[in-house]
Chain A
Amino acid sequence: MQRHLISAADLTRDDAVHILDTAEEMARVADRPIKKLPTLRGRTIVNLFFEDSTRTRISFEAAEKRLSADVINFSAKGSSVSKGESLKDTAQTLEAMGVDAVVIRHGASGAPYRLANSGWIDAVVVNAGDGTHQHPTQALLDAFTMRRRLVGRDAGIGQDLSGKRITLVGDVLHSRVARSNVDLLHTLGAEVTLVAPPTLVPVGVETWPCEVSYDLDSTLPKSDAVMMLRVQRERMNAAFFPTEREYSRRYGLDGDRMARMPEHAIVMHPGPMVRGMEITAEVADSDRCTVVEQVANGVSIRMAVLYLLLGGNEPAVSHARTTASTEEK
């Protein structure tokens, strides 16, 4: 694994499976009455959030605290950043305080890459979402959710997603979730189809390792998982589609459409959902929808990522290994 986690494309198949397997170990911690491991005791992690994202920030924070790391939350709003401080100065200031890892969310695509590669700081950098570029931990938690549901919690250990047919629907153009998922799912052997109105598919998509379709209905019966991407209502003001209603009619997932999916197929959403836009309440609240599970899995995945990037070689969950250790030999 590389030293930083910037893009899902940086992960090999073995890296990704290793993270998913580690996350399964971490998930067991969540089932205990005391959900805490001493692994990152004495390590300091800063959550450097230039964009508001309460969900992602809280998820990272929960992961960090369960690993016993010291956590600093930095929100650009109301900080020196709003007074014109540069990314470089902010990062160097934080590092001077002895930070071991920076979890960064930034509105500019490439900001985490710059942070990791410009020689500004030495800390490990974890991308928590940059512009319309990447959101690798989201893709990992999505893959984790798919593997559990489509392969099995125990049966999935050591496995990838070979042959699974995954459909992503919605605003691909502006979606870092879509980019990360296409990269990671391809690496894990899944067959990915993107469905969107042509206005919301980027020029240049032809080189992505996936299919592109403008027709949701024909894709649904061939999907093991359907991931709905958030569509912002404002997009219609820039003529990406005419009205909210027309978008919902053509690309929204409702009960009738869900019925066309195979029995075993799941519905996913990275959140926050826009009910009535890309997904109806009926679908969102159905037991085929994994939204809440994805959130729980997010904490396990982020624990796994931070542990693997920062934790060194010691086993994360020592006593839980007693059965697993013989299998490894």
Chain B
Amino acid sequence: MSKILIRGAKVLGGEPQDVLIDGEVIEAVGTGLDAEGAEVVEAAGKVLLPGLVDLHTHLREPGREDSETVLTGTRAAASGGYTAVFAMANTFPVADTAGVVEQVYRLGQEHGYCDVQPIGAVTVGLEGRKLAELGAMHESAAGVTVFSDDGKCVDDAVMMRRALEYVKAFGGVVAQHAQEPRLTEGAQMNEGIVSAELGLGGWPAVAEESIIARDVLLAEHVGSRVHICHLSTAGSVEIVRWAKSRGIDVTAEVTPHHLLLTDESVRTYNPVYKVNPPLRTERDVHALREALADGTIDIVATDHAPHPHEDKDCEWAAAAMGMVGLETALSVVQETMVETGLLDWAQVADRMSFKPARIGQVGGHGRPVSAGEPANLTLVDTAYRGQVDPAGFASRSRNTPYEGRELPGRVTHTWLRGKATLVDGKLT
């Protein structure tokens, strides 16, 4: 493979530097690097980040290829600056066996746009009754280390305890979708002032917080690590902060949409705002931003959830929950965290690359931008501002809540082990 010289990029937002890629690795980082024999990418003014890592993506394949496939989903990932995504297990069939996770893993490798690290189901069929063969999935070619019934909560306390204990044998982690099922029967949106007016079934904050409280205590009791998916309330932040202060091994993620949008959007009854957990209040949004800034929340994860048009072009109650997010995540983080002064770009790299890679234990990703490291890199034009146009998405689905909204930042280049997957904003 030939050499690439990224010239004058602000590495992690710092002073302009040149980065020389040779084959799959970064050969050198410095100023005035020799461009001879290298393809030059002029990057003056742009920010160079380690390739982003998403711990929470729904690629829908197998089973719902009408909304997304591994190919379209990884193309969307590359467009958004990602070099690795963790694919959630709620496919058809469910990723609860070595066979399914290996299939998803291999599809990612074949397409070559982004590494796909499958997440295994905790319980068979996500039904919460019987542990899936977690060890077999770990030992498979996919090397699964993250397990989740996402979409459903492992609500049975004993099942959760056993899962937390069992995965310790091979260093796995359970990622919990925290949703007490009885408290959320018929739930359509955040329970509060807006739901009372709109007459939509409430999804109360306590349904998330009570599960998180239980699970951090379980993790403490059995000495396990637990990861909390898409944390969405101010109360959840308080619980995780308390747990961390107590030394409990807990990590947590927040989605871009929970950093930006509130349940006020639901007044339009437009199901593009329907998501699980639901959009919360302004107060929650502020608490989540602060928690991401101070490290209480470790990472940003997209919960990229593609749905076909007809599942959103309907009345609210009939609509599917979820939003696509891979192609807008970095822009939303820039809008909500960088332009507000809450995070600098090095911290964005921490929350969107280093830490998610560490939580998910995926090799070769979330590494420093320095000589000898794998050339997984993302170049961002942070000065750009423009309206979100879903027609330009690489994802098969268009269910974004940001259509027509002006957001900052645009990923112009993505390199996966030295191979460009995105050049000047266009997929290769």
Contact = CB atoms under 8 A, between A and B. Distances in A.
A and B co-occur in one complex: yes
B316 A114 contact: yes
A208 B268 CA distance: 19
A130 B269 CA distance: 12
Interface stretch (B124-132, B186-194, B391-399, B403-411): B186-194
B141 interface: no
A108 B317 contact: yes
B197 interface: yes
Given A110-B269, A114-B269, A117-B268, A203 B314 contact: no
B36 interface: no
A204 B191 contact: yes
A86 B319 CA distance: 11
Contacts of B197: 179, 204, 207-208
Given A106-B315, A110-B316, A86 B310 contact: yes
Nearest to A208: B196
**What class of interface size applies to chain A in its complex with B?**
20 to 34
Contacts of B192: 203-204
Given A86-B310, A203-B204, A133 B198 contact: yes
Contacts of B313: 86, 88, 118
Contacts of B270: 114, 118
Question: How extensive is the interface on chain B, given as a class?
Answer: 20 to 34
Nearest to A50: B315
A270 to B, nearest CB: 15
A108 B193 contact: no
B192 to A, nearest CB: 5
A208 B194 CA distance: 11
A248 interface: no
Nearest to B194: A204
A131 B268 CA distance: 16
B318 interface: yes
Q: Which one of A86, A113, A114 has the highest number of Cβ atoms from chain B below 10 Å of its Cβ?
A: A114
A204 B193 contact: yes
A189 interface: no
Given A108-B316, A114-B315, A203 B196 contact: yes
17 contacts: A87-B318, A88-B314, A107-B317, A109-B199, A110-B200, A110-B269, A110-B315, A110-B316, A111-B317, A114-B315, A114-B316, A202-B195, A203-B202, A204-B197, A207-B193, A208-B196, A208-B197
- 3 A-B pairs with the lowest CB-CB distances in the bound complex, closest first: A204-B196, A110-B269, A133-B199
